[in-house]
């Protein structure tokens, strides 16, 4: 169980095992609170059941009453976690006591790999001792405790970070952990530059998952994840200051202030006045001579005996994104509906694919290239699979973002026959009201998945159908869905990547006049983008249908817990 926005952090204060010169508290006792204080604070939280609670401040592992703190957390129906510099892991007897406490989460702080850690902490041999203790803990806990190993940049230069991460991976051996690289107030170099050489790390499934944690707003590669950890809410009277154990308060403040930017998920290619005759042979085609001066932003659609040019002036997508949509994936769709009435994505749209003849043309690099419409529903393969999956649902089902429900014909009979107990979750009240009127037997909850909390209840199946790009916090959304899923349960995620519509000018004008939905896209993720998030939440892939030239822009990811 890893930290999420529901995690409760309680300031207890403690000694530290080291006398690090860069540490704000350095050494000695800091003001903290007792197990009784923790118990009173937890009792005041009505929805605490099942939530992760982490004592923080100095190294709570050094407190003589650590086991009492952890027992208090368990006794109040919560899951105990621990952030430590590792001294508590170095003794077999201490590890055995932590096992009896049923620790659900462990975060180990390191200040370098190998000698760098020993130099930073002024404790010779501490790195080897702590890593040996962690490996023993990982083996003894047998997967029952999620482990994060944090490599703090501290005041060290960042140019060796990639080598240190690789050394740490090797030194950890087969221990099942997640690695986190983190900066703090004393870090001299931007973390984004330091992690750049690690951009492809998470594409290798045999490596431990790598995450990034930064006080500064990260400008890091898309393959890395910015995860403010722990990022929960504080309980108790005291507000913690930043300590060597994780600059938690500043991370929390940064995460709360960083609102995601709204993204467009589509753009238009608009028909121009240019028209040339269609010639079957590429060498006879005149399109390259009559076309736009910006071939990357144009294309020619085969229309009977003619070629019609379409161009885009979009500013929402850069050249690389346009090339991916048009040339790599050909996620292009012809709008066949009357102006302003496209409400049927099955029949109102048709896929447009490149004409193979252009591959032999000597002018292909200076031309927008020819495309032809493909008859038939563009999403038929994906939709048939999804509808069949929904048709065989059973048990308790949570539908995340249920408002625009395209599978009513499959869901309603299941609910009315008693095969499915259905809960729909959506932040849009009118959409919920409409769905409730059609299916009064269902339970409907207003809100997003990040705010959803239903203590003690889990679900056999979760649906997240074209909703993931709308959530505010992607990592938190995946964490919540994993939390709501029963062991062995399944989570079906369906989403779309950006696409372009081929339209006449009156269709574009009507689309521009149409009212905008209030719940906008915050991102445009692929299924591959989601895999690291799923891994860190203990979800395994059962079925994966990615996007590509041979498929539509709709991807499918079926996960199990």
Per-residue model confidence as pLDDT tens digits over 82-112? 988 888 898 898 899 999 989 999 999 888 8
Pairing outcome for strands 485-496 and 459-465: parallel
Per-residue model confidence as pLDDT tens digits over 373-418? 999 989 999 999 999 999 999 999 999 999 878 899 999 999 999 9
- Residue 360's Cβ-side half-sphere holds a number of Cα atoms within 13 Å equal to 9
Q: Of 122, 123, 178, 184, which Cα lies nearest the Cα of 158?
A: 184
Q: What is the 3-state secondary structure (H, E, C) of 366-390?
A: HCCCEEEECCCCCCHHHHHHHHHHH
User: Where is the domain boundary, 311, 345, 373?
Assistant: 373
Entry pTM: 0.72
Q: Are residues 354 and 223 in the same domain?
A: no
Per-residue model confidence as pLDDT tens digits over 21-30? 555 444 444 5
User: Where is the domain boundary, 324, 351, 373?
Assistant: 373
Q: Are residues 398 and 307 in the same domain?
A: no
Cα 344 to Cα 333: distance, rounded to the nearest angstrom? 13
How many structural domains is the chain composed of?
A: 3
Residue 219 lies in a domain: yes
Q: What are the Cα distances from residue 47, in Å, to 82, 449, 517?
A: 21, 16, 32
Cα 103 to Cα 1: distance, rounded to the nearest angstrom? 10
Q: Of 200, 232, 340, 159, which Cα lies nearest the Cα of 6?
A: 232
Least confident of 203-207, 343-347, 466-470: 343-347
The answer to whether 56 and 242 are in contact (CB under 8 A) is no
Least confident of 140-144, 435-439, 513-517, 543-547: 513-517
Per-residue model confidence as pLDDT tens digits over 433-477? 999 999 999 999 998 898 787 766 789 999 999 999 988 888 888
- Residue 155's Cβ-side half-sphere holds a number of Cα atoms within 13 Å equal to 10
The answer to whether 297 and 369 are in contact (CB under 8 A) is no
Q: Are residues 157 and 29 in the same domain?
A: yes
Residue 447 lies in a domain: yes
Domain limits for position 326: 266-373
Residue 133 lies in a domain: yes
Q: 10 vs 391, which has greater pLDDT?
A: 391
- Burial (CB < 10 A; 0-12, 13-18, 19+), residue 140, is middle
Residue 287 lies in a domain: yes
User: Where is the domain boundary, 257, 288, 317?
Assistant: 257
The single residue listed with the structure tokens 């252009």 is: 358
Q: 338 vs 207, which has greater pLDDT?
A: 207
Residue 1 lies in a domain: no
Q: Are residues 410 and 358 in the same domain?
A: no
Q: 250 vs 128, which has greater pLDDT?
A: 128
Q: Are residues 46 and 91 in the same domain?
A: yes
Give the CATH number for residue 241: 3.20.20.70
Instruction: State whether the Cα torsion 428-434-440-442 is positive or negative.
Output: negative
């Amino acid at each position: 169980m890893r930290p999420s926005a529901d995690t409760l952090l309680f300031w207890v204060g403690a000694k530290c095992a080291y006398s690090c010169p860069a540490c704000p508290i350095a050494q000695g006792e800091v003001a903290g609170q007792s197990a009784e204080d923790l118990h009173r604070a937890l009792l005041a939280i009505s929805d605490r059941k099942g939530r992760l609670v982490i004592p923080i401040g100095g190294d709570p592992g050094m407190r003589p009453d650590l086991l009492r703190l952890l027992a208090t957390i368990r006794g109040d129906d919560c899951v105990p976690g621990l952030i430590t510099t590792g001294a508590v892991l170095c003794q077999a007897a201490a590890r055995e006591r932590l096992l009896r406490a049923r620790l659900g989460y462990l975060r180990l702080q390191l200040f370098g790999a190998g000698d760098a850690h020993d130099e930073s902490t002024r404790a010779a041999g501490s790195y080897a001792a702590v890593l040996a203790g962690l490996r023993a803990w990982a083996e003894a806990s047998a997967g029952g405790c999620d482990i994060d190993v944090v490599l703090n940049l501290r005041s060290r230069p960042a140019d060796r970070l990639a080598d240190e991460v690789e050394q740490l991976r090797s030194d950890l051996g087969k221990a099942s952990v997640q690695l986190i690289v983190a900066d703090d107030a004393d870090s001299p170099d931007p973390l984004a530059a330091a992690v750049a050489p690690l951009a492809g790390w998470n594409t290798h499934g045999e490596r431990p998952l790598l995450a990034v944690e930064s006080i500064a707003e990260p400008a890091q590669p898309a393959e890395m994840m910015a995860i403010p950890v722990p990022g929960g809410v504080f309980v108790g009277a005291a507000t913690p200051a930043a300590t060597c154990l994780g600059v938690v308060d500043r991370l929390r403040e940064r995460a709360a202030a960083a609102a995601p930017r709204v993204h467009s998920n589509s753009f238009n290619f608009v028909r121009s006045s240019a028209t040339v005759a269609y010639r079957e042979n590429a060498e006879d085609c005149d399109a390259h001579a009559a076309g736009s001066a910006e071939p990357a932003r144009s294309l020619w659609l085969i229309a009977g005996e003619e070629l019609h040019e379409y161009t885009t002036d979009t500013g929402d997508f850069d050249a690389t994104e346009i090339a991916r949509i048009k040339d790599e994936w050909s996620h292009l769709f012809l709008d066949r509906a009357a102006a302003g009435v496209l409400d049927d994505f099955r029949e109102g749209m048709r896929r447009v694919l490149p004409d193979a003849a252009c591959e032999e043309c000597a002018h292909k690099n200076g031309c927008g290239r020819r495309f032809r419409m493909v008859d038939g529903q563009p999403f038929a393969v994906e939709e048939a699979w999804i509808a069949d999956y929904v048709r065989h649902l059973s048990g308790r089902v949570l539908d995340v973002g249920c408002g625009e429900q395209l599978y009513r014909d499959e869901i309603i009979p299941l609910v009315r026959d008693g095969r499915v107990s259905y809960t729909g979750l959506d932040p849009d009240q009118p959409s919920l009201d409409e769905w409730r009127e059609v299916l009064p037997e269902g339970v409907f909850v207003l809100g997003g998945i990040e705010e959803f909390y239903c203590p003690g209840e889990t679900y056999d199946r979760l649906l997240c159908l074209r909703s993931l790009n709308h959530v505010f916090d992607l990592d938190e959304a995946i964490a919540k869905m994993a939390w709501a899923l029963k062991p062995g349960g399944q989570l079906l995620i369906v989403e779309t990547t950006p696409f372009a519509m081929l339209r006449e000018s009156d269709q574009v004008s009507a689309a521009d006049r149409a009212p905008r939905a209030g719940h906008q896209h915050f991102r445009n993720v692929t299924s591959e983008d989601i895999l690291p998030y799923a891994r860190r939440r203990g979800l395994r892939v059962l079925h994966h249908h990615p996007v590509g030239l041979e498929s539509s822009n709709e991807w499918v990811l079926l996960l199990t817990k």
